Amino acid sequence: MRDRTPREEACRQRPAALRAHVPPARVRPARGRRAAPRRDLSHDARPARDADDARGGARPPPEVRRCRRRARLRVRERARARPPARGAHGERDRRGRAPRPREVRHRRLARRPRVSREYPEHPRVGVGAVVLHESRVLLVRRGQAPSAGKWSLPGGLVNLGETTREAVAREVAEECGLAIRVGGVAGIVERVVRDEAGRIRYHYVLVDYLAFPESTRLVPGSDAADAQWIEIDRVAELDTTEGLLDMVRRAQALERGDRA
């Protein structure tokens, strides 16, 4: 081997040139710092036609903002007005609790007016009670048509699925606040009322029962303007419905037959 000159030796042992160290880009944000929020495109975003049309982060026009604000207010009002949905009967809620028993109602049904008794398509079945106590009979003064202002026997229409005996006990309790013991049938009356044109305005088939009170205390209900114990001898002096006194006489005869 040949000897290297001092110049060659110096060139051979020259250190490498220093290079700037560039760290790799961070994939995640540095600890303790929050990442910049991602900006989503607006619903009104559209491609820019030219440099003047690209608005970047500019706010929408005032008309658009007002429309959005009104839409949000309408959604909130509907959410407040609408009751929270509940599970069907027999199901359990999210916490595993059984639903509370509640009455099923509907807004339209609640607003629907009562079915009119005028001009019916078929006869309506009703009941009446001749409630006797010693020498008196229980009468009510009607507050509604067709016998408004007149004295009548307590009673009303039979509900669907209800017997006539159940109906007469219910009607006396509702109109007079009185519990009764229902006896036999005192009589059956058909009442047909026509208007000036000859059309049938009311048509009732009434079953009147003899009945006896459990007490004498009366509490008139909403269907009756008044309720009183009237001496039977004074019934003819009152403005009563047609055939009332005759039905009271029949009930008295039925009562005497029961005693015999």
pLDDT by residue for the chain (260 residues), tens only, comes to 555 555 555 555 555 555 555 555 554 555 555 555 555 555 555 554 444 444 455 667 787 788 888 888 887 777 776 655 554 444 455 555 554 544 434 443 344 445 567 888 999 999 999 999 999 999 999 878 777 889 999 999 999 999 999 999 999 999 999 999 999 999 999 989 899 999 999 999 999 999 999 999 999 887 788 999 999 999 999 999 999 999 999 999 999 987 65
At residue 109, the pLDDT reads: 38
Q: Where are the domains of the chain?
A: 124-259
Q: Tell me phi and psi for residue 230, to 5 degrees.
A: -115, 135
At residue 94, the pLDDT reads: 54
* Check whether domain 124-259 has CATH 3.30.450.20, yes or no: no
Q: Report if pTM > 0.75.
A: no
DSSP notation for 32-80:
T-PPPPPPPPPTT----SSTTT--TTPPPPHHHHHHHHHHHHHHHHHHH
Q: How far apart are CA 78 and CA 57, in angstroms?
A: 32
Q: What is the dihedral sign for C-alpha 141, 145, 149, 153?
A: negative
> Please, are residues 196 and 256 in contact by the beta-carbon 8 Å criterion?
no
Q: Residue 186 region, left (φ>0) first, then alpha (ψ -120 to 50), else beta?
A: alpha
Tokens in use for 181?
A: 């013991």
Residue with tokens 């949905």: 85
- Nearest 10 degrees: Cα torsion 26, 29, 30, 36: 130
